[in-house]
Amino acid sequence: MHKELKELAEAWYARPIEDRLGMTRRGFMQFCATLATTLGLSRGAEAQIQKAIEQARRPSVIWLHFQECTGCTESMLRAEHPTLEKLILDVISLDYHETLFAAAGHQFEAARIQAMTENKGKYLLVIEGAIPTRENGIYCKIGGHTAIDLARECAADAAAVIAIGSCAAWGGMPSTSPNPTGATGVDSILDRPVVNIPGCPPNPYNFLATVVHFLTFGTLPEVDHEGRPLFAYSRLIHDHCERRAHFDAGRFAMEFGDEGHRKGYCLYKLGCKGPETYANCPTVLFGDVGAGTWPVGCGHPCIGCTEQGVGFEKPIHTLAQLKSVHPPISFPRIHEQQGSGAKTGEAAVIAAVAGAAAGAGAMLARNLGKARPADAPAERTDKDGGSA
C-alpha cells in the first residue's frame, strides 16, 4: 500500500504545475506575475517565482495555535488563488496544523516531532495567536507543554518564523488591558527575527506572498521596524482608500446611515483609523468577490487592526492621528442646517447689543489715543502750564 501511494504521489507531482493548481498555463504565469508585483520585485522576477514553484521542493510548514480565535486560518480557508488544498498540496507541505489535521493526541504530536526531525533547519514555523506569559504560561497548554515552551522548541531549528495575525504579531485582542494572562507577541519570547503579518484577520495573500518569496529566494522579504513585510505594510491605508477623494474635498459621513454615509463619503469623522494604519487592504481586498470587499468599502471605519497601539486600544469613535495629511475638519455637514431668520424682538436686542459694542469700541479707541506708554518721555510744559 505504501509503495502504491508513493507511486501515485510521484505521478501527481510529475504533472505540470498548472494542472495541479487547476489553472491554464497563461493563468499560472499571471499568478506568478501578480505575486512578483505584490512583492515589489524587479522585472523578470516572475520567471524566478515560476521556476521555484515548479521545481523547488515544497517547504515543510509547522503551524502552531495559541491564544486566538482561529480567524487567521479561517481567512486562509477562503483563499481562491490558489485554493487552500492546492496551497497545502502543491506550494507548501503543511505537516502540522491543529485545526486542519484529522489526527489527534499522541499521533498528532508525533507528526510534529517527525516533521521537525526530517526537515531540521529547513521548515517554516508559523505561529497563530498570542502567547500567555503570566504564571509561567499556564493559561495555554498543548500536549502538556506551554505555548512558551512549544514556540521556543519549534523555533530552535526552523529556517524562518512567521507570526500570522495581530495576536501573534504583538498580542492583539488578548493583550488588551487588563491582560490577565500576560499575552504577548511571538517576537518578545524568541531570540531570533520574526516576520509579522498582522491583521484581524490578515489577508491570506500577504502570507502566501511571504512564503513564495522564501521559496524563490531562500530569504524572507524585507520588513519594517515592526517586522512587517514592506510589500504589504509600507503604505497607509488612507493613501489608497477609494474614499480619499471625499476626504480631500471635505465630504464626511457624520453619522451611520446619514446622507453622506449612504453616498460613500469619507468615514474619518466616524473614527476611521486608515490615516494612521499601514496595510494593503484597499488594494488586495478580501474574499475574492470583487470591489469594495474590505471594511471601509463596506461602510465601516477601519479599526487599525494591523497597527500596534491603535487596533483594540483606541475606541472606534476616536479620530485617527493624521500622519500625512490634514483634513478640512472645520467643514460643515453635507447639508448644514440654516437659520430661519430673527424675529422683530430678537433683532432689536441684537441691534442694541451691537450698538453698545460699537459705542464701547469707539470709546476704547478714543481713550487709547490719550494713553501714554510707560516708557514714553514725560511731556514738557512751558512757564504758563501749557504743553510744549
Q: What is the CATH number of the domain that holds 292?
A: 4.10.480.10
- Residue ranges of the chain whose pLDDT lies below 70: 1-23, 35, 37-44, 48-57, 81-91, 326-388
**Whether residue 265 is found in the same domain as residue 135:** no
Residue 191 lies in a domain: yes
Torsion angles phi and psi, residue 303, rounded to 5: -100, 0
Question: Residue 140, annotated ligand binder?
Answer: no
**Whether residue 160 is found in the same domain as residue 246:** no
Task: Name the DSSP letter for residue 69.
Answer: -
Q: Note the pLDDT of residue 381.
A: 45
What are the pLDDT digits (tens) for 260-305? Answer: 999 999 999 999 999 999 999 998 888 777 778 899 999 999 999 9
**Whether residue 102 is found in the same domain as residue 222:** yes
Residue 290 lies in a domain: yes
Q: Note the pLDDT of residue 350.
A: 55
* Residue recorded with cell 501714554: 372
Of 313, 334, 355, the one marking the end of a domain is: 334
Please report the sign of the dihedral spanned by the C-alpha atoms of residue 91, residue 93, residue 97, residue 103: positive
Q: What residues contact 95, with CB distance under 8 A and at least 6 apart?
A: 60, 61, 62, 111, 112, 114, 115, 119, 123
Question: Residue 281, annotated ligand binder?
Answer: yes
Residue 2 lies in a domain: no
**Whether residue 193 is found in the same domain as residue 240:** no
Closest CA relative to residue 116, chosen from 46, 62, 160, 42: 62
Contact 315, 271 (CB under 8 A): yes
Task: Give counts: helices (H), strands (E), the chain.
Answer: 16, 9
Q: Supply the pTM of this predicted model.
A: 0.71
**Whether residue 110 is found in the same domain as residue 206:** yes
Residue 345 lies in a domain: no
- Within 138-243, residue ranges assigned H as helices are 147-155, 166-170, 204-217, 230-233, 237-240
Exposed, middle or buried, 217 (CB in 10 Å: 0-12/13-18/19+)? middle
**Whether residue 164 is found in the same domain as residue 21:** yes
Residue 5 lies in a domain: no
Q: Note the pLDDT of residue 383.
A: 44
Residue 65: which domain range? 15-233
Question: Residue 246, annotated ligand binder?
Answer: no
CA distances to 100, 104, 379, 380 from 383, rounded to whole Å, are 110, 116, 13, 10
**Whether residue 257 is found in the same domain as residue 200:** no
Question: Residue 238, annotated ligand binder?
Answer: yes
**Whether residue 71 is found in the same domain as residue 184:** yes
Residue 386 lies in a domain: no
Q: State the greatest distance between any 2 C-alpha atoms of the chain, in Å, as a whole number.
A: 133
Q: Note the pLDDT of residue 387.
A: 45
Tally of CB atoms within 10 A around 218: 11
Residue 361 lies in a domain: no
Contact 169, 163 (CB under 8 A): yes
Question: Residue 69, annotated ligand binder?
Answer: yes
Q: Note the pLDDT of residue 171.
A: 95
Question: Residue 200, annotated ligand binder?
Answer: yes
**Whether residue 184 is found in the same domain as residue 329:** no
**Whether residue 25 is found in the same domain as residue 77:** yes
Contact 184, 171 (CB under 8 A): yes
Residues shown for the chain: 388
Of 202, 233, 264, the one marking the end of a domain is: 233
Question: Residue 272, annotated ligand binder?
Answer: yes
**Whether residue 135 is found in the same domain as residue 124:** yes
Of 197, 214, 233, the one marking the end of a domain is: 233
**Whether residue 309 is found in the same domain as residue 220:** no
CATH number at residue 202: 3.40.50.700
Residue 378 lies in a domain: no
Q: What is the number of domains present in the chain? A: 2
Question: Residue 298, annotated ligand binder?
Answer: no
